[in-house]
Chain A
Amino acid sequence: MQEFLATPFGTLLFTVVAVLVIMVPVLIGVAYLTYAERKVLAAMQLRKGPNIVGPFGLFQPFADAIKLMMKETIVPTGSNRLLFLMAPMLTFALALIAWAVIPFGPGLVLADINVGVLYLFAISSLGVYGIIIAGWASNSKYAFLGALRSAAQMVSYEVSIGFVIITVLLCVGSLNLTEVVLAQQGLWFAIPLFPMFVVFFISALAETNRAPFDLPEGESEIVAGFFVEYSSMSFALFFLGEYANMILMSGMTTILFLGGWLPLWDIAPLNWIPGPIWFALKICLCLFVFLWVRATFPRYRYDQLMRLGWKVFLPFSLLWVVLTAGALMAFGWLPGQT
């Protein structure tokens, strides 16, 4: 077995299996996130939500998926055909490849690379391309407006996400995601860096185009924004990509601030639960807040969105980078300092 895995073919096969082991739970998670969203929103609005298909409506995601697959894929006449079809695939693929570096437990990671944090940041900053290309290739006014809004919004909030990541990196002293988690043994970064935690979470909402920052698809003003011309599976890929990105951003929040796979306290009944379960539980908590926020807050106006990003978060996170660096220097807490 060991020798077989060492051969090129064995390595390839092992990688494919490992990729499937990550992808399948993520896709099931995406399917049930759509269900959870409808149920949670329904509960918060005193409704029942989906309850017909299967027990408690549990088969609703599959019914939706089959319905979407049966529909006709419409490519508008004036559109740029190749780019129009490429955009949803790009969005979906980007939402999935980021999972390659996510550590699910001690040693449970597909690619344990030294620059894992930068990889995640790079992938999340590429997400904007699917949206811009979709908006442009559709050759439609509403889609283009949605794409422009989205481009401006995602670029703005990436800046503060970058500063938040720098703050965490200062406390860790490494760009490796496993080491980011291991540095939080004893104290999760959500506590000493609480303001950054909040800034990161709100920026994650903006980065995934979720309410209250869902202006790119603001249905009351630009119909459905950048994917107004999409139907059937090409629409479904955008939809899946958005939800996979939500899970990914929750995973990032968990790794950077909530101690990844680490248990709440390292004591007997809690550390019996395996790391991946803790990781999944923390992701679910973050996702619940995503849905809660959607049910609670009205959509931001565009100038308010820009003001929050550039005039509030950017100076504030910059200040915290300086403060954190200063405190680490002053008290000699810098990691790796001898």
Chain B
Amino acid sequence: MIATLAFYAFASVLVASAAMVVTSRNPVHAVLFLILAFFNAAGLFLLAGAEFLAMILVIVYVGAVAVLFLFVVMMLDVNFSEMRSGFVRYLPIGGAVGLVLLAELLMVGAVWSVSPSAPRLIAVPVPGGVTNTEALGRVLYTDYIYLFQAAGIVLLVAMIGAIVLTLRDRPGTKRQDIARQIDRSRRETLDMVNVEVGQGMVVPPKHEPAKQPEHANGNGHHGGGHH
């Protein structure tokens, strides 16, 4: 009874928020509806007994991916009227792409049949006696270990690709080298000078040549009295 009610609540909110993702005018609202959709999907997983997947869905998609989405979308300065202006011009090509996708989906759907043994599998998502997490681990790290490793390598490649695309060696940036800062001693940074009253003095030449233009901070003690 409660499970059925919960299912319909999760499912209807999921469908409604998924519709709002594509229809809402404000991109930030769209991302927030996407997050709501993720949540309800996690709720459906929970009802199906897949608690591990539900939690991972929330941690990975809501906790990490959607945060970055939101981050980027909030920074965008979207001009809504400008965005809508090209609507008629792009309608034919957009409609064509949509039609092709629809035809493909229909073709897939027409020949799709559910295996007669599938409903029994759905009813028992977990083999008896072990927790969900353990059951998943037993399959993932034995039968599907190569696919699992391949998925990991694909992610690694994507990560390296992102770094390669964005990492640029810009000259002239200031950088803090903590090891070198700690390594400095008083002798090489501080000179004690007795200054004659009323005479003043010229700053003596530094002991080491000024070779560190990138040295960000902490050179304030060089040279003695200026007064």
Contacts and interface: CB of A to CB of B under 8 A. Distances in A.
Interface of A: 8, 83, 113-115, 118-119, 121-122, 125-126, 128-129, 132-133, 136, 144, 147-148, 151-152, 155, 158, 174-175, 303-304
Contacts of A148: 71, 75
A140 to B, nearest CB: 13
A118 B55 contact: yes
Contacts of B51: 113-115
B110 interface: no
A156 to B, nearest CB: 11
Contacts of B7: none
Interface of B: 1-2, 28, 32, 35, 51-52, 54-56, 58-59, 62-64, 67-68, 70-71, 74-75, 131-133, 176
A230 B1 CA distance: 42
Contacts of A118: 52, 55-56, 59
25 contacts: A8-B2, A83-B32, A114-B51, A115-B52, A115-B55, A118-B56, A118-B59, A122-B55, A125-B58, A125-B59, A125-B62, A125-B63, A125-B64, A126-B58, A126-B62, A126-B63, A128-B63, A129-B67, A132-B70, A147-B74, A151-B71, A152-B71, A175-B131, A303-B176, A304-B176
Contact of A119 (B55, B62, B64): B55
A28 to B, nearest CB: 29
A82 to B, nearest CB: 9
A175 B54 CA distance: 14
Nearest to B42: A122
Contacts of B132: 114-115
Judged by DSSP, the binding face of A is: helix
Given A83-B32, A118-B59, A122-B63, 10 more contacts: A118-B56, A122-B55, A125-B58, A125-B59, A125-B62, A126-B58, A126-B63, A128-B63, A152-B71, A303-B176
A158 B131 contact: no
Contacts of B52: 115, 118, 175
Q: Which 4 A-B pairs have the closest CB atoms?
A: A125-B63, A118-B55, A122-B58, A114-B131
Given A8-B2, A129-B35, A303-B176, A115 B133 contact: yes
Nearest to A158: B63
B191 to A, nearest CB: 28
Nearest to A159: B64
A22 B68 CA distance: 34
A30 B52 CA distance: 31
Nearest to A86: B32
A240 B68 CA distance: 26
Given A8-B2, A115-B52, A303-B176, A132 B71 contact: yes
Contacts of A126: 58, 62-63
Contacts of A128: 63, 67
B58 A114 contact: no
A118 B59 CA distance: 8
A286 to B, nearest CB: 23
A129 B64 CA distance: 11
Contacts of B28: 136
B67 A132 contact: yes
Nearest to B175: A303
A115 B32 CA distance: 26
Contacts of B1: 8
Nearest to B55: A118
B17 to A, nearest CB: 15
Contacts of A158: 63-64
A118 B131 CA distance: 14
